């Protein structure tokens, strides 16, 4: 459930986009349901995002999200093929009456909180995104329903570097071709 308000500009990471969003790279740790965190280097520039993590074997697993395409590839792939991914939905569903958004501000940070009203009438946080005032995500916490009752996804970013990245980072490497993902890999 990504934070979407309809007023946020198109950005690769919409969670903090309403504050603006500089071009930057960061180390991102993500964990789900108490599992060990996975590390990735993320690079964002406007609507373009690159996520690079350890892949199987010697290569790196890279996900590219750009206005032109969404793709994933292994840097050591032979043959050199990237798989096209389905883009995320363009718009979020309208907010139900039992959903609200609020924000908390502290020195240098803004936390956007999404809450749902339970059957008891009480509000429960299901998503928290803490951002620097310039729009860089610092931490995210999200509850998602699961067969076991619920799953918590946590993201933390560190080693944040503000800089305009090389545009080549958002393109397929030389020699790679883009192919459609097999039907079993599509949503």
Domains along the sequence of the chain with CATH: 14-185 (2.50.20.10)
pLDDT in tens, 61-89: 999 999 999 999 999 999 999 999 887 66
The answer, yes or no, to whether residue 10 has pLDDT greater than 60, is no
pLDDT in tens, 97-121: 899 999 999 999 999 999 999 889 9
Return mean pLDDT, the chain. 87
* pTM of the model as a whole: 0.81
Residues in the chain: 187
Instruction: Say how many CA atoms lie within 13 Å of 185 toward its Cβ.
Output: 10
- Check: CB of residue 141 under 8 Å from CB of residue 128: yes
* Cα dihedral value 93, 94, 99, 102, nearest 10: 100
Distances (CA, A) of 108 to 45, 132, 171: 22, 6, 34
């Amino acid at each position: 459930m990504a934070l979407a308000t309809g007023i946020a500009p198109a950005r690769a990471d919409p969670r903090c986009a309403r504050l603006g969003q500089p071009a930057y790279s960061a180390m991102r740790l993500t964990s789900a349901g108490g599992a060990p965190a996975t590390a990735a280097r993320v690079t964002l520039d406007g609507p373009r995002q690159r996520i690079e993590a350890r892949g199987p074997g010697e290569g790196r697993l890279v996900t590219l999200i750009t206005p032109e395409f969404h793709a994933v590839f292994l840097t050591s792939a032979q043959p050199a093929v990237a798989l096209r991914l389905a883009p995320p939905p363009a718009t979020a569903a309208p907010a139900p009456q039992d959903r609200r958004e609020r924000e908390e501000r502290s020195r240098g940070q803004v936390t956007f909180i999404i809450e749902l009203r339970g059957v008891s009438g009480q509000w429960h946080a299901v998503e928290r995104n803490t951002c620097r005032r310039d729009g860089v995500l610092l931490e995210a916490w999200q509850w998602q329903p699961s067969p076991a009752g619920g799953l918590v996804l946590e993201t933390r970013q560190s080693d944040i570097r503000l800089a305009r990245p090389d545009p080549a980072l958002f393109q397929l490497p030389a020699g790679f071709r883009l192919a459609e993902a097999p039907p079993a890999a599509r949503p």
